């Protein structure tokens, strides 16, 4: 990595594959539990228990049930005690991803880059620090809170815990952070800057962010119903998904299981408004087009689209419009769903978790259904999947992630093989 | 691919510092080598709270029309600093070329504390009564809000990243921007960083060091491909992460080992977190921290902008920026001019 002027690099892009996936969401811990939940279209939303929401309009969210213990790592008990909720998610997802990948970290000679996406980082600890500072009674514990609150600390803990030594890049592009992190990792490997990267996204629920979305009237006071004509907002959730990403040639050489090939990545910026998408989804269309051109796929070759599909009036109409424009004449047969009705919007974790869902769908031959709705928004010219559906041979899938600030990202995966 | 032999030029630089708005004021302060005046900072509404020292950015000139852009009306202080530095770095021709769609402009912003004043204010409102917390403030607390404002300001729909981490991450941002150009992802890249003063940051800093003075501001560099650069991005070392296996001292030595031997550059911008690494440096050295204060994520960015500024004015022909962060990683970058001896 680094940069050297006039450096001569081998020409041509490397094929890039995913050889390890770890996931934790309100559906559960691990690939199996999540695949079962998403396939069935389960709903894991429940009343918020992590903080007081009695004065908020919205009352539900997708909370994770964390296991009692972290996966085995090099951390000592004192270090483990300092891991916050978001950090614990990160450890759980990483542990599974590394185990699946077969990467032997102690045998990897070159630095292993880590690329993470998060929007809130360890905001819960920041809240704790703020309250203690305002009370001003004692500075005891404040240094530890400040240290642990810094977003890079979670990534550094991860490196420490798993014995990873490589550059850490944290992309905070709001709700597209996770997709951008995977996309960035893909580019690093594809363009020859790294042989392998650990990448993904995560976010934990916290009061500040919950209240923020509530203040914007963006949270549903009923239940999130993406693409329903009477949708009234999103629900928040929390979770993480991590990926072991490496060169196809290396994966083949070591006989690794390949979960998917990352075929395309597109990123674009919507200049329309800080929190509102362009009504016709112009930037979303750009990111989808960039990804599909890079993947060398036409829309009719993409078997499933995991939409950003938040359930807010503005997002779904803009995204729906963008999907229609992107798919063109093949729109009617395009299977689309949003999985946010079941687990909520995971913010910085959304792009990563929804990428994992795409991989599960391709491996299992099914499409995760959206929350069932009575009346479809007329923008849905595509096939919005609302009931569990088996769909064998999904050769490629696409996931969209759109965030505040107009951060738009699209990833396209081709089905893996074992 | 167009990667073979690509050279990256720094074609623009901008800065906002406690010395004022613009590169000339920053460079003048650094030439004077005199730490700027400090003011005090305490918890708003609590005169009995601890008092900290800071160096503030002077109030903006209201004649700056870009500050009246709809996106910047409610932007955080750091967002406005960032916009000013970016405007300075971008020439008028390029601004027009980007907005008309002829030039693809990528944006990479790095930050450490982000829009902390709005975050603090919003959270205070949430604690008081979440039902009345301001929906106008919340979106400005999101880390990538300032980078988004830049995209709107310049009319760019291209790729746009915000990185979070310690001050070393400005060099990651620089590396990403340079590689976007090498890979022909975009035609120009704005790499920038910004931070703003806040009593919470001051209090946090005081938990680790008693002598620091808080600083604030922004800096931006404009990167373009060029066959014969006036100011060239010669190299960025690998980023060495601080871990138990690779503590800061080892990381710094690994960083140093990737730099050329002999006289590396005419001027060294030292970060202040390098211990004794540069004790034997015999050329000119500059510490932006000493002059402007602890700028958190903007410190390395100031140094890079200053390096580019001094080279542009032919004051020096090469500059090394040592970017050791507070707790995450270290890397260094070397800028060379037309007549300096190249390292390759």
Given this model, what pLDDT does residue A214 score? 97
B213 neighbors B296 (Cβ within 8 angstroms): no
B190 and B319 co-located in one domain: no
B257 and B191 co-located in one domain: no
Q: How far is CA A197 from CA A131, A279, B299, in A?
A: 37, 36, 28
For residue B173, what are the domain limits?
8-225
Given this model, what pLDDT does residue B60 score? 85
CB-based contact (8 Å) between B147 and chain A? yes
CB-based contact (8 Å) between B38 and chain A? no
CB-based contact (8 Å) between B293 and chain A? no
Given this model, what pLDDT does residue B1 score? 40
Among the partner residues A56, A216, A267, nearest to B159 by beta-carbon distance = A267
Among the partner residues B140, B152, B328, nearest to A168 by beta-carbon distance = B328
Q: Look-up: residue for tokens 């004192």?
A: A78
DSSP assignment string, B257-295: HTS-SS---SEEE--S--TTTTTT--SEEE-HHHHH-B-
- How many whole angstroms separate alpha carbon A39 and alpha carbon A334? 18
B window 300-329, beta carbon within 8 A of A: 327-329
Angle between helices A207-215 and B116-128 (to 10 degrees): 80
B260 neighbors A5 (Cβ within 8 angstroms): no
3-state class (DSSP) for residue B318: strand
Residue B342 maps to a domain: no
> With contacts defined as CB-CB under 8 Å, which chain B residues touch A174?
142-144
CB contact under 8 A, B166 and A170: no
B149 and B267 co-located in one domain: no
Q: Identify the CA nearest to B24 among candidates B14, B33, B34.
A: B14
Average pLDDT of A153-171?
96
| B341 pLDDT above the threshold of 60 | no
Query: Which chain A residue has the Cα nearest residue B146?
Result: A405
Residue B182 maps to a domain: yes
Tokens of A190: 């594809």
A23 DSSP β-pair partners? A241
Given this model, what pLDDT does residue B5 score? 85
Tokens of A193: 């800057």
Residue B176 maps to a domain: yes
CB contact under 8 A, A269 and B161: no
- How many whole angstroms separate alpha carbon B110 and alpha carbon B147? 9
Q: Chain A closest CA to B235's CA: distance in Å?
A: 5
Residue B41 maps to a domain: yes
Query: Which chain A residue has the Cα nearest residue B243?
Result: A160
pTM: 0.97
B104 and B59 co-located in one domain: yes
Residue B1 maps to a domain: no
Angle between helices B299-312 and B169-182 (to 10 degrees): 60
Residue B180 maps to a domain: yes
Given this model, what pLDDT does residue A136 score? 80
Q: Specify whether the backbone of A405 is left (phi greater than 0), alpha (psi in -120 to 50) or beta.
A: left
A263 neighbors A297 (Cβ within 8 angstroms): yes
Query: Among the three residues B202, B225, B248, which one is the final residue of a domain in this structure?
Result: B225
Given this model, what pLDDT does residue A9 score? 72
B window 211-270, beta carbon within 8 A of A: 232-246, 258
> With contacts defined as CB-CB under 8 Å, which chain A residues touch B204?
129, 142, 146
Q: Which domains are present in chain A?
A: 16-417 (3.40.47.10)
A115 DSSP β-pair partners? A169, A199
Q: Identify the CA nearest to B172 among candidates A171, A386, A133, A100.
A: A171
Q: Look-up: residue for tokens 């389960």?
A: A42
B180 and B67 co-located in one domain: yes
HSE toward the beta carbon, residue A415, CA cutoff 13 A: 18
B window 118-137, beta carbon within 8 A of A: 119-120, 122-124, 126-127, 129-131, 133-135
- How many whole angstroms separate alpha carbon A157 and alpha carbon B243? 9
Residue B344 maps to a domain: no
ipTM tops the 0.85 cut? yes
CB-based contact (8 Å) between A267 and chain B? yes
Query: Which chain B residue has the Cα nearest residue A58?
Result: B131
B171 neighbors B331 (Cβ within 8 angstroms): yes
Query: Which chain A residue has the Cα nearest residue B170?
Result: A169
| pLDDT single digits (tens) B260-306 | 998 999 999 998 899 999 999 999 999 999 999 999 999 999 999 99
CB contact under 8 A, B144 and A156: no
Q: Chain B closest CA to A113's CA: distance in Å?
A: 10
B77 and B60 co-located in one domain: yes
B216 and B246 co-located in one domain: no
SS (H, E, C) B36-47: CCCEEECCCCCC
CB contact under 8 A, B148 and A405: yes
Query: Among the three residues B177, B208, B225, which one is the final residue of a domain in this structure?
Result: B225
CB-based contact (8 Å) between A57 and chain B? yes
pLDDT band at B342, cuts 50/70/90?
very low
SS (H, E, C) chain A: CCEECCCCCCCCCCCEEEEEEEEEECCEECHHHHHHHHHHCCCCCEECCCCCCCCCCCCEEECCCCCCCCCCCCCCHHHHHCCCHHHHHHHHHHHHHHHHHCCCHHHCCCCCCEEEECCCCCHHHHHHHHHHHHHCCCCCCHHHHHHHHCHHHHHHHHHHHHCCCCCEEEECCHHHHHHHHHHHHHHHHHCCCCCEEEEEEEECCCHHHHHHHHHCCCECCCCCCCCECCCCCECEECEEEEEEEEEHHHHHHCCCCEEEEEEEEEEEECCCCCCCCCCCCHHHHHHHHHHHHHHCCCHHHCCEEECCCCCCHHHHHHHHHHHHHHHHHHHHHCEEECCHHHHCECHHHHHHHHHHHHHHHHHHCEECCCCCCCCECCCCCCEECCCCEECCCCCEEEEEEEEHHHEEEEEEEEEEEC
Q: Identify the CA nearest to B286 among candidates B9, B12, B4, B35.
A: B35
Sequence-distant (≥ 6) Cβ neighbours of residue A239 within 8 angstroms: A23, A24, A25, A26, A62, A64, A89, A202, A203, A343, A346, A349, A353
Domains contained in chain B, number: 2
Q: Chain A closest CA to B321's CA: distance in Å?
A: 14
3-state class (DSSP) for residue B225: strand
Among the partner residues A3, A11, A156, nearest to B175 by beta-carbon distance = A3
> With contacts defined as CB-CB under 8 Å, which chain B residues touch A161?
none
Tokens of B295: 């700028």
Sequence-distant (≥ 6) Cβ neighbours of residue A363 within 8 angstroms: A35, A259, A415, A416
> With contacts defined as CB-CB under 8 Å, which chain A residues touch B162?
171-173, 405
B/e letters for A190-200, b = 16+ CB within 10 Å, e = fewer, are bbbbbbbbbbb
CB pairs under 8 A between A and B: 234
What is the share, in percent, of chain B residues with pLDDT greater than 70?
97
Q: How far is CA A399 from CA A90, A117, B111, in A?
A: 21, 16, 28
A window 366-395, beta carbon within 8 A of B: none
| pLDDT single digits (tens) A331-370 | 999 999 999 999 999 999 999 999 999 999 999 999 999 9
Choose the mutation target among B72, B134, B138 for the interface with A, i.e. most A CBs under 10 Å: B138
B207 and B250 co-located in one domain: no
Sequence-distant (≥ 6) Cβ neighbours of residue B17 within 8 angstroms: B25, B26, B29, B57, B215, B217, B292, B302
| pLDDT single digits (tens) A375-389 | 999 999 999 999 999
3-state class (DSSP) for residue B86: helix
Residue B26 maps to a domain: yes
CB-based contact (8 Å) between A72 and chain B? no
Given this model, what pLDDT does residue A11 score? 64
Average pLDDT of A16-21?
98
B144 and B195 co-located in one domain: yes
CB contact under 8 A, A407 and B165: no
CATH number for the domain harbouring residue B304: 3.40.47.10
Judged on CB neighbours under 10 Å (0-12, 13-18, 19+), A386 is middle
Query: Which chain A residue has the Cα nearest residue B114?
Result: A172
Mean pLDDT score of chain A: 96
Tokens of B3: 């990667």
Q: Identify the CA nearest to B327 among candidates B203, B225, B263, B244.
A: B244
B218 and B265 co-located in one domain: no
B108 neighbors B163 (Cβ within 8 angstroms): yes
B21 neighbors B60 (Cβ within 8 angstroms): yes
A198 neighbors A115 (Cβ within 8 angstroms): yes
> With contacts defined as CB-CB under 8 Å, which chain A residues touch B43?
133-134, 136
CB-based contact (8 Å) between A147 and chain B? yes
Alpha-carbon dihedral of residues B19, B30, B196, A151, nearest 10 degrees?
180
Helix, strand counts (H, E) of chain B: 11, 14
Given this model, what pLDDT does residue B67 score? 87
| pLDDT single digits (tens) B215-272 | 999 999 999 999 999 999 999 999 999 999 899 999 999 999 999 998 999 999 998 8
A365 neighbors A393 (Cβ within 8 angstroms): yes
B132 and B159 co-located in one domain: yes
| pLDDT single digits (tens) A398-416 | 999 999 999 999 999 999 8
DSSP assignment string, B183-194: TTS-SEEEEEEE
Query: Which chain B residue has the Cα nearest residue A217?
Result: B135
- How many whole angstroms separate alpha carbon B7 and alpha carbon B330? 23
B199 and B243 co-located in one domain: no
- How many whole angstroms separate alpha carbon B81 and alpha carbon B89? 12
Average pLDDT of A239-255?
97
| pLDDT single digits (tens) B26-73 | 999 999 999 999 999 988 777 777 899 999 999 987 667 888 899 999
> With contacts defined as CB-CB under 8 Å, which chain A residues touch B120?
130
Query: Which chain B residue has the Cα nearest residue A3?
Result: B236
Among the partner residues A165, A171, A282, nearest to B163 by beta-carbon distance = A171
Catalytic positions of A, written as ranges: 175, 308, 345
| B344 pLDDT above the threshold of 50 | no
CB-based contact (8 Å) between B49 and chain A? yes
> With contacts defined as CB-CB under 8 Å, which chain B residues touch A147?
327
Given this model, what pLDDT does residue A418 score? 60
Choose the mutation target among B142, B176, B232 for the interface with A, i.e. most A CBs under 10 Å: B142
Average pLDDT of A287-314?
98
CB contact under 8 A, B235 and A170: no
CB-based contact (8 Å) between B70 and chain A? no
Among the partner residues A121, A139, A165, nearest to B246 by beta-carbon distance = A165
| pLDDT single digits (tens) B140-183 | 999 999 999 999 999 999 999 999 999 999 999 999 999 999 99
Q: Chain A closest CA to B141's CA: distance in Å?
A: 9
| B308 pLDDT above the threshold of 70 | yes
Q: Identify the CA nearest to A189 among candidates A231, A247, A113, A131.
A: A247
Query: Among the three residues B179, B195, B225, which one is the final residue of a domain in this structure?
Result: B225
Q: Chain A closest CA to B309's CA: distance in Å?
A: 20
Q: Chain B closest CA to A393's CA: distance in Å?
A: 32
CB contact under 8 A, A8 and B233: no
pLDDT band at B340, cuts 50/70/90?
low
CB contact under 8 A, A167 and B158: no
């Amino acid at each position: 990595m680094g940069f050297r002027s006039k450096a001569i690099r081998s020409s041509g892009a490397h094929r890039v594959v995913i050889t390890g996936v770890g996931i934790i969401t309100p559906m559960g811990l691990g690939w199996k539990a999540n695949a079962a939940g998403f396939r069935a279209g389960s709903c894991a939303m429940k009343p918020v228990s992590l903080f007081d929401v009695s004065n908020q309009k919205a009352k539900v969210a997708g909370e994770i049930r964390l296991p009692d213990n972290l996966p085995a790592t090099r951390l000592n008990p004192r270090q483990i005690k300092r891991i916050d909720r978001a950090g614990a998610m990160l450890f759980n997802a990483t542990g599974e991803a590394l185990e699946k990948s077969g990467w032997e970290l102690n045998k990897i000679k070159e630095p292993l880059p880590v690329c993470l996406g998060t929007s809130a980082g360890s905001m819960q600890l920041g809240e704790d620090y703020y309250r203690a500072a305002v009370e001003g009674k004692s500075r005891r514990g404040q240094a530890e809170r400040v240290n642990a609150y810094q977003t890079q600390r979670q990534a550094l803990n991860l490196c420490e815990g798993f014995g990873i030594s490589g550059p850490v890049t944290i992309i905070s592009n709001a709700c597209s952070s996770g997709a951008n992190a995977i996309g960035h990792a893909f580019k690093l490997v594809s363009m020859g800057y790294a042989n392998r990267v650990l990448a993904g996204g995560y976010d934990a629920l916290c009061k500040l962010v919950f209240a923020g979305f509530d203040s914007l009237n963006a949270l549903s006071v009923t239940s999130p119903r993406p693409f329903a004509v009477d949708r009234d907002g999103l629900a928040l959730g929390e979770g993480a998904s991590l990926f072991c990403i490496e060169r196809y040639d290396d994966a083949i050489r070591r006989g690794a299981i390949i979960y998917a090939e990352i075929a395309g990545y597109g990123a674009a910026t919507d200049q329309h408004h800080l929190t509102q998408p362009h009504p016709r989804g112009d930037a979303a269309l750009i990111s989808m087009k960039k990804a599909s051109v890079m993947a060398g796929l036409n829309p009719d070759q993409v078997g499933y689209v995991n939409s950003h599909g938040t359930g807010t009036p503005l997002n779904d109409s803009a995204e729906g419009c963008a999907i229609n424009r992107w798919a063109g004449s093949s729109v009617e047969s395009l299977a689309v769903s949003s999985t946010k009705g079941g687990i909520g919007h995971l913010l910085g974790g959304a792009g990563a978790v929804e990428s994992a869902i795409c991989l599960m769908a391709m491996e299992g031959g099914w499409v995760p259904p959206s929350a069932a709705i009575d009346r479809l928004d007329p923008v849905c010219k595509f096939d919005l999947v609302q009931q569990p559906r088996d769909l064998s041979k999904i050769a490629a899938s696409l996931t969209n992630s759109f965030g505040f600030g107009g951060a738009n990202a699209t990833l396209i995966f081709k089905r893996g093989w074992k | 691919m167009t990667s073979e032999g690509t050279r990256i030029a720094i074609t623009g630089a901008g800065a906002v510092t406690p010395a004022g708005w613009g590169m000339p004021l920053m460079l003048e302060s650094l030439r004077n080598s005199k730490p700027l005046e400090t003011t005090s900072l305490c918890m708003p509404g609590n005169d009995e709270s601890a008092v900290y020292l800071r160096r503030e950015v002077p109030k903006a000139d209201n004649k700056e029309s870009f500050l009246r852009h709809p996106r910047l009306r409610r932007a955080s202080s750091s967002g406005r600093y960032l916009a000013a530095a970016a405007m300075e770095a971008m020439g008028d021709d390029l601004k027009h070329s980007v907005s008309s769609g002829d030039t693809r402009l990528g944006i990479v912003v790095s930050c450490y504390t982000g829009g902390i004043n709005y975050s603090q204010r919003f959270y205070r409102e949430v604690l008081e009564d979440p039902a009345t917390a301001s929906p106008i403030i919340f979106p400005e607390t999101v880390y990538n809000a300032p980078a988004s404002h830049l995209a709107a300001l310049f009319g760019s729909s291209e790729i746009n990243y915000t990185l979070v981490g310690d001050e070393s991450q400005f060099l990651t941002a620089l590396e990403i921007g340079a590689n976007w150009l090498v890979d022909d992802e975009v035609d120009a890249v704005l790499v920038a960083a910004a931070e703003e003063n806040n009593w919470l940051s001051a209090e946090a800093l005081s938990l680790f060091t008693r002598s620091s003075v808080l600083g604030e501001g922004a800096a931006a560099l404009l990167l373009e491909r060029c066959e014969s650069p006036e100011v060239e991005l010669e190299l960025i070392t690998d980023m060495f992460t601080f871990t138990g296996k690779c503590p800061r001292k080892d990381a710094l030595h690994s960083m140093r080992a990737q730099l050329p031997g002999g006289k590396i550059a005419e001027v060294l911008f030292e970060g202040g977190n390098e211990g004794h690494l540069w004790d034997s440096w015999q050329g000119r050295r500059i510490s932006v921290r000493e002059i402007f204060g602890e700028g958190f994520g903007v410190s390395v960015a100031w140094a890079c902008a200053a390096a580019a500024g001094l080279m542009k004015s032919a004051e020096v022909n090469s500059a090394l920026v040592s970017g050791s962060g507070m707790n995450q990683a270290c890397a260094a970058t070397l800028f060379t001019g037309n007549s300096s001896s190249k390292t390759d």
